[in-house]
Structure 1
Amino acid sequence: MASSVGNVADSTEPTKRMLSFQGLAELAHREYQAGDFEAAERHCMQLWRQEPDNTGVLLLLSSIHFQCRRLDRSAHFSTLAIKQNPLLAEAYSNLGNVYKERGQLQEAIEHYRHALRLKPDFIDGYINLAAALVAAGDMEGAVQAYVSALQYNPDLYCVRSDLGNLLKALGRLEEAKVGV
């Protein structure tokens, strides 16, 4: 009888570890959302030590470092996430953000487009692509990126507003009225 109790205790240990991992991951995400990047990073590093291949943790670390303008670290964690899952659109988009911030617009655009090929309904990818295309001077490409985002979710006020402003800047006032 004692051995079966021991087995039950042994079988609950991974469950406890998983619950603590999940709880810590949720805490780190809340801290990130609240702008407490130092605490979020500290908790993410604990998670990363437990599960170095967890792409969710890698993406959050990439985002934390990006917000803190530690672009090399952000790129590092995005690259690790891509190595774990080459089909992870969010990691390519995060890497695109790093390139855009560095002024490497062509590389940023390529990464955003790759992310969108992997996940065609990735709204943030279209928004990021549009911003990079505007920065690169490709206004028509940016219009198309915004239109694509709205095809997936026509209720996005910020995208609709950005599209309207871009169309106004291009002198396409009638389209801007319809687009907004």
Structure 2
Amino acid sequence: MPGDSSCALKRRRQAWGRIGYCTTGPAAGRRPRVANVQQIDPNARRDAMRHRFLKAAAVLAVAIALSGLALGQPAGVRWRVDTAVYYIGNGWLPEALEHLQQAVRMAPDDAEAYLLMGMIFDVSGDAERALAAYGHALALAPDAAPLDVLMGDIYFAAGRLDEARRAYEQALARFPDAGTAYYGLARVQAAGGSDAAVDTLRTAVEHAPDLIDARLLLGRILRLSGRPEEALEHLLHAQRLDRNRTDVRLELALVYEALERMAEAEHEYRMVLRLDPDNEEAGAGLRRLMEVQQANT
């Protein structure tokens, strides 16, 4: 494997994107792309998986920080880790895991190998092994990146809200600018019915302006609290980042409907149905608009 650090960083970003850990920009918040479909049931865990892969700021920081650590790896360990990164990039997760397990046998203090193992366990649905691997990476490189966010997302998906809250708060204690940590904390607050979620989400999008799901959740909470005009700003921003996100378009349709901008609401409902013909909520919304139009004619 080539030893140039910029090439290694590029390979790591490409590989992490392959298993769903998007970096920044429009890709942040998208569903994971996993070639090894035998290990993944995307329909069964679609929503939970999307949240687990909102790692934009955290993973970019990991890529930058741990690529430096990779330069200090013994040659044999570095070959194992680079090979695993290549395999991950091709969707060969079991083969990648074998190399990473060998790497940590050779170098038990290799934080990057544990991080990558955690990502593979995470995307494969093995929460406990993912937590253990992330915990090792965090203990070895506590200041590399807000790895607690990765653990917090697993706790949140499992409904372990107190543990999720602690993980996000620990991340923010070391990385006060981590937008993904604020987003995770806001989800915990919203799940508990706390009004603090709105302010936390505002802080999240301040630090991570292109974090789509933070914009979406903020827009939804604002709409439900009777502030559709404020919601519209965040949803339009999210739509500009990814015009094919049906959940964003659906929420946008509901906001337009609340604002009585019916033509725009109809357009968004139809766009959702074009992207997802079986979307029941969009179908119901469109029928509701048609009934109103008929009643007014």
TM-score (norm 2): 0.50
CA distance in 2, matches of 1:28, 1:176: 42
Shift of 1:170: 5.5
Q: Is the 8 A contact 2:223 2:231 kept in 1?
A: yes
Instruction: State how far apart, in whole Å, the 1-side matches of 2:263 and 2:73 are.
Output: 65
After TM superposition, the structure 1 stretch with the greater mean CA deviation from structure 2, 25-34 or 14-23, is: 14-23
Distance 1:70 1:109 in 2: 21
Aligned with 1:12 (options 74, 78, 87): 74
Alignment match, 2:218: 129
> 5+ unaligned residues in a row in structure 1: which ranges?
1-9
Are 1:35 and 2:137 matched, yes or no? no
CA distance in structure 1 between the aligned counterparts of 2:73 and 2:210, rounded to whole angstroms: 40
Match of 1:89 in 2: 179
1:109 is displaced (CA, Å) by 0.7
Which structure is higher in RCO with an 8 Å CA cutoff and minimum separation 6? 2
Which piece of structure 1 moves more, 30-39 or 161-170?
161-170
Q: What amino acid maps onto 2:198 in structure 1?
A: I
Letter in 1 for 2:253: G
Q: Residue 6 of structure 1 aligns with which residue?
A: none
Corresponding position of 1:151: 240
User: CA separation in 1, counterparts of 2:150 and 2:73?
Assistant: 30
Match 1:103 to one of 175, 186, 193 = 193
Match of 2:92 in 1: none
Instruction: Please name the residue that 1:80 is paired with.
Output: 170
What is the SS of the residue equivalent to 1:55?
coil
Deviates more, 1:54-63 or 1:138-147: 138-147
Match of 1:117 among 206, 228, 233: 206
Distance in structure 2 (CA, Å) of the matches to 1:27 and 1:140: 44
Match of 1:24 among 105, 114, 138: 114
Question: What displacement does 1:167 show?
Answer: 3.0
One-letter amino acid of the counterpart of residue 197, structure 2: A
Quickly say closer, same or farther: Cα 1:140–1:33, change in 2 above 3 A: farther
Instruction: Map 1:36-75; keep pairs closer than 5 Å.
Output: 36-75=126-165
CA distance, structure 1, for counterparts of residue 143 and residue 266 of structure 2: 47
Mark the CA change 1:19 to 1:132 in structure 2 (over 3 Å): closer, same or farther.
farther
Q: What's the offset of the Cα at 1:75?
A: 1.3
Residue 173 of structure 1 corresponds to 262
- With normalisation by structure 1, the TM-score equals 0.78
Determine what percentage of the aligned residue pairs are the same residue.
Answer: 24
2:289 alignment counterpart: none
Say which structure is richer in helix.
1
What's the Cα RMSD here? 2.8
Amino acid in the other structure paired with 1:126: R
> Residues 18 and 70 of structure 1: is their aligned pair in 2 closer, same or farther, counting only changes over 3 Å?
same
Tell which deviates more after alignment, 15-24 or 33-42. Answer: 15-24
* Residue 40 to residue 107, structure 1, CA distance change in 2 (3 Å): same
Unpaired segments of 5 or more residues in structure 2? Answer: 1-71, 79-102, 272-297
- How many residues align? The count is 170
Q: 1:34, 1:128 → 2: CA distance? A: 26
